[in-house]
Each structure stands twice: as C-alpha cells, then as structure tokens.
Structure 1
Amino acid sequence: MTDALTTLTTAAVPDFPMPRDSGCPFAPPPQLRELHAEQVRAGQPLTKVRIWDGSTPWVVTRYEDQRTLLADPRCSVDQRRPGFPYMNPSFQEVAERGSEPAFLTMDDPEHARIRRMVTGAFTVKRVEAMRPAVQRMTDGFIDTMLAGPKPVDLVRALALPLPSLVICELLGVPYEDHEFFQTKTEMAMRHDASREEVGASHHALLEYLDGQIQVKLADPTDDLLSELAARHRDGELTRRQAASMGLLLLGAGHETTANMIALGVAALLEHPEQLTAIRDSDDSKILSGAVEELLRYLTIIHLGNRRIALEDIEIGGQTIRAGEGIVLPSITANWEEAYFPDPERLDVTRDARRHQAFGFGIHQCLGQPVARLELEVVFGTLFRRVPTLRMATDLEKLHFKEDGLVYGLYELPVIW
C-alpha cells in the first residue's frame, strides 16, 4: 500500500522543464500552459514540480504572482542556501565549491553595492551612443555572409558573432578568444551535462577572466574589465569577485542575445506578414515595438527565475514555507491572456512593453539596453539588405535548444 501511494504521489508531481511541442516550437510547453490555465482558473498560484536533482520546488506561473514574488525581499537569489532550486548542475557545483558569488546571486544590500559599480556602462544614453558601431559590425558580418557560399548557418554567420564582438568591446576582452568562451559558456549552461563537464567549463572561464583582470591591472584601458580591476585595486572588490562579475557579463552578454537573434529571425520567417511590417516601415517605433513583442513571444529564459523563501510567504491563500524553492517561468506570464490578448499570435504592432522577458524587480537584466539595441539593428538591417532571405530547411527539421538555460537554435540554415 505504501509503495502504491508513493507511486501515485510521484506521478502527481510533473517534471520541470516540460517538453515543447515540436509542431509549435515557439510556444510554451503544452503541459506548462495547462498548468498555468489551471492556476488562473482555480485562483491557486502554487503547484509543486520536480526538477533535475529530484527536489520539488513550487512553480508560480501567473503574471501578477510572479511580479509580487520577484519584488519580495523574502525571496532570495542566494544559491548557497540549502534547498535552493538550482537550474542545472553547474549552478550547484559553483555554490558547493564556495566560489565568490556574482551579484546575480546576491541579495541586497550587497547586490545593490556591487551592481552599482557597472550600471553606468548600461545606461540608455551610453548604449545608444554605441548604435553606429553596432550598425557597422552588423553590416560587416552581413557583407561576409553575402560574399560566401549558400546556404549559410545564420547562427555562426551573424547571431553568435555579433553579440560576442559587442560584449568583447564593452569588456575589453580579445575577440580572438571568442571560440573559447562561446564553447565553455554553452557547456556551462547545459542542464544535461555532467557536473564534471560544467564544473570544468566554469573553472576555465573564471580562470580566463581572472587572467584578463590581471592584464587590466597592469595595463588599464577604457573598458569594463579595467573598471572592475580598478575597483579591486581600491579594495572594493576581491580579485575573485571582479573575475566573477566579468564572467557573468561575458556569458550573459553573448549567449542570450545570440539565441534571441536566431530564434527571432526564424519566427519572423515563419510569419511573413509580420516580417513585412518591420522591413517596409521607416518608423523606428515599429521596430522597437517589434523587438518587445518578439521578446514577449519567445521568452528564451525557459528554465524560469529561481528563488528560495527566507520566511513563510502567503500568496493567493497558499503558503510557501521558509526554505522552500520557487520557480517562476516568465514565458507563462508573457502568454497570459489577461495581459496579452491572443498571446499565441505574433503581432509586432502589439504594445508588449509589460513583458517579463528580462525579469522583474531588483534582479532584472542589467544588459537589457544592449540586447534591445542589437536586436533593433539586426532585425532592422538583415531583412532590408537580404529581402529574399528564407530558411534552407523546414521548421520541423531545425535543432532547438531544450537542453540549456537559454532556449534557441543550434543552427539556422538560410538561403536567398
């Protein structure tokens, strides 16, 4: 009898992340949408799920509930706390090694102190000043693509090298090292990789950034790593904290945007009427609005934001106990009918600015102005310069990334 009850209990807790429908690769997983619909219908925001390590955190799918919890200081991002729902083995590996945490996994006030050190580089005004340079980079990669053989993998030709070059310029990292950090970052973000693989990748990246900090200590230039090195010299950061911050900015600065570019191009090619609205308009507001809609529609951080409760938290008549993990998948909030009517429809004229693709609260993405700039330049340039661009294979034959922190495409073969 006990065995039967255990089996029923185990079966009643769904696994997370949930598989996508191969026929609808841009949509949230069907089972996750059903769970969200049930939470909305029943008015009960909490459901247990089972993640990769066998633990069972709460999953919260509703828009308002997510915003409430993401803004609640009782919800901690400190992954060193027992019971934290790690995204993959690499996050657990880093926490258990006792490495210096990046500000992404710190709570205030320490989070705010360290984040302030780099926010100046990501103000809208400073990022906008980068537009001519990003435009030149984009045109250069497209020139090379057009001069080469067809078909071409757009991931390798444009989607990955552009954000890699931009973040290298911002940080002061040699672009010739891009193959190294791209490969290691992708491995560190895979949730199906072994602890040994992700641990080794993270260690190699951290040592690399530590070496770059050493270079900037000896020969500072006008870049973010030199700023971090100066903060270390002045005693505001440890050497490892400076390297960890550099690692976070380097990884997040290229991996997320690269996948967003590739997935966004594929989505637009599958929705030609939306692509036409972007390509044929001279209104910059149309382009910026299209970027917001694509961010909403695709929501590439598909493993959700993760938190752990520091105290008992009541929400919607249910209670999250202190020490329990919380998973908040932004994609369900971004597809909630009450906030985004007809959410399964890609509509570049929609006002999607309330989306949560960059998170919400004090930990929302620091680099979002750079990501928006890169996406605007790419989508505003690629389809005008290559108006006959099309996929060189069928959508169902594409290899989507369901095995990592960031959803995207391994390759996108195109022709014109």
Structure 2
Amino acid sequence: MSVQERLIRYCKVNTQSDPNSETIPSSKRQFDLANLLKKEMEEIGLVDIQLTEQCYLYGTLPSTLDEESETVGFIAHMDTAPDFSGENVNPRIIENYDGEDIHLNEQIILSVNDFPSMKNYIGKDLIVTDGNTLLGADDKAGIAEILEACDWLMKHPEIKHGKIKVAFTPDEEIGRGADCFDVAGFGCDFAYTLDGGEVHIVADETFNAASADIHIKGFSIHPGSAKDKMINALNIAQEFHALLPKDARPEHTEGREGFYHLHDMSGNVEEANLHYILRNHDLKKLELQKESLTLAKEYINKLYKRDLVDVVIHDEYRNMYEILKDNPRPVEIAKKALTTLGLNVEMESIRGGTDGATLTFKGLPCPNLGTGGGNYHGRYEYCCIQEMEQAVQCILNIVELVSTKEGL
C-alpha cells in the first residue's frame, strides 16, 4: 500500500470530534479508524500495540541495534475538525496539476485567485475533495506517513535503527488530544507531531492560548414601559465587545500578532453569553489580554452601578518554544533531515496549537512537522502526494540521524 492509498483509505472513515461532548473520546466513531489502524500496525509487525479506552493508540517498532540508542516517537491525530462535514468523504487524485482552477464538483471551484499558493504545486499530484466535505489530510496524512515509514523499515531489516514509538490520538481538533496521553508509558526521549502543512516547514512555536466566557445579566420589562428600567443584555454584550481593540481581531492579524476572537454569542434581553478565544505567542501579552477583559467587566459594572457582567477565564495551552528553546536538538535533527532531502527549511510560529505544545510541557519535547496538506478544515482541503513521500523520507532520515548519533 502506498502512502497516498493509505491516506485515501483513512479519509473515508468519518472521525469528526465533537466539541459539545464531555466524553473521551468525544465521538465513538474515532474508534472506527483506531481499530483499522491497530490491525494495520499488527500486519506491519509493530509490537506492544495498545488501544486504550480513551482511544489512544500506541505501538513500538523494535530496535535493530545491538547497543542502546535514544527512542524517538512520531505522533498524529485521528480526529477531523467539526467545522465541516467529514461524512462520505470522496477523495480523488489530480495528476500533474496544471496550476488552473480545480472544479471539485459542478458548483464548487478551488480557485487559484482565492488560493494563489496552489501555483506552487504545478506538475505535482494532488488529492482533493469532491467539494462536499473536508478531506481529512489534517491529520490522516500524518498517520499515513508514519505507518508508511514503519512499513518500509520492517521490510528493510538491514537498515539499523533504535526503538521507535508511534501514537495516534483522538480529539486534537477540539484541544483535548494530549489530555490523556501517557507520556511516561510512551517512553521517548523526544518526539514529533506530523500535523503541519508544507513539508519543508518545521514548527517549534505555537500560540499561548486561553478562553473566556462572559455572562451578562439584563433586566427585561415590556418595551412600552421600559424607560429607565430595562437593561438589555444584548446591548450590554455589544458594548462589552466594542471595548476590545478592533485591530486585534483574527481578521486583522497575522504572523506573531495575537487576537481576541469572539467565537460564539447568544442571548436575549434577560441574559447574554459571549465566548472568546485569546491567542498570543507572547505569554506576557496574553496576560494583558486577559486583564483587558476584566477591566471591560469592571468598567461596565461601574457604569451601570450594578454587577451585570461576569468573566470566567480558562487557560488552555502554552507556547512550546518556552521549552524547546532550551532543548533545540529535536528541531535541529528535523532541519537536518529535511535539508538532506534538498529542501530549504523554514521555521514557523504556528498561529494555533498542536498536541505537541501540551506534550512538550508534559516533559516530551515535541516539535511539529509538515505533512504536505493545506486549506484544512474545509471543502478546499488538499494534499500533495510528492510532499507526502518527502515526509515519509524525512521520518526515515530522522530515524537514521538518531540511530547513528549524527543528530547529536
């Protein structure tokens, strides 16, 4: 089975996570893929395979060395984003892409005007959707590449390597992918998540992340007799939102600029609720963002001379660069592995998070590698077959560098 055949097979299994669920995993359908992968891992020859009740799948590729060597891990997530349908995914291959618009179906076009970076794939082979679903390359491409590399190593026992660990996680797309990850049991010196975009990019930095729930109490009365009595919670919600900087919304930010994102808003005259996500690469700036929400609350409560607004802030994940900057070796090994392929390596500060961010803070240094996909979480998602093949080779190069200690 080729790496693209693996991806297409996995994409056809619906594994969307559910942000409204309190179970782990958030959706039982993630076990459908986990069980399929478990069988493949057994067929490849991995050992110590374990599928937990929380839908974490672990396995080991035994060492072929006579001496002790470091243990490296490779991790990808099984769930797909709840943002867009993952039901009845029908991938197809565009061979020798010509750089023009791709008609996903009769109504939906993947336009190079909307996505000019598609020009980078002229002459390459792409896997795309039929326009009705997401593809699921985020992150099933990572799974396919990890298992393809394992399969190759098992078929080439003459290639000497140390112990290799693999893990496939649930619920990454809803921020819970590393919550129940058994770092101690995984037993790696360091690892890599394969959960990025273009294959030449290495990510050693993520956002610091928090969320905030704003509850607003109003006072409802008949509008005909409301003068000096009614307090419309919906109006208070608008006033609260207007106190936050407009230029710090996601649609106005890029690079290392943080943001306040009003993700959800609901209510009526009597009460209203706002949900924000707060993101910043700089932890001190994130703390200032959280403080600004508290100041906005205090301002409105003082203005109306009553406690109308309540703010509850939740910390989510931290920027893994805080740890990796003092332990750069995994990043340097990845850069060397990609350079060996003739690629010009770029470092990326992810405008998001990965399982690797949480795992790094749990004691497992874990930078993120590209898988060859793009336009994630929607109908325009794609994956480049040639970049998937390069990602497989990158894994093999990392294994060689670790095993031969060239990565030291």
User: Which interval holds the TM-score relative to the shorter structure?
Assistant: under 0.3
Q: Which has a greater percent of strand?
A: 2
- The structure number with the bigger radius of gyration is 2
TM-score, normalised via structure 2 length = 0.26
What is the TM-score when the length of structure 1 is the normalising length?
0.25
More helix by share: 1
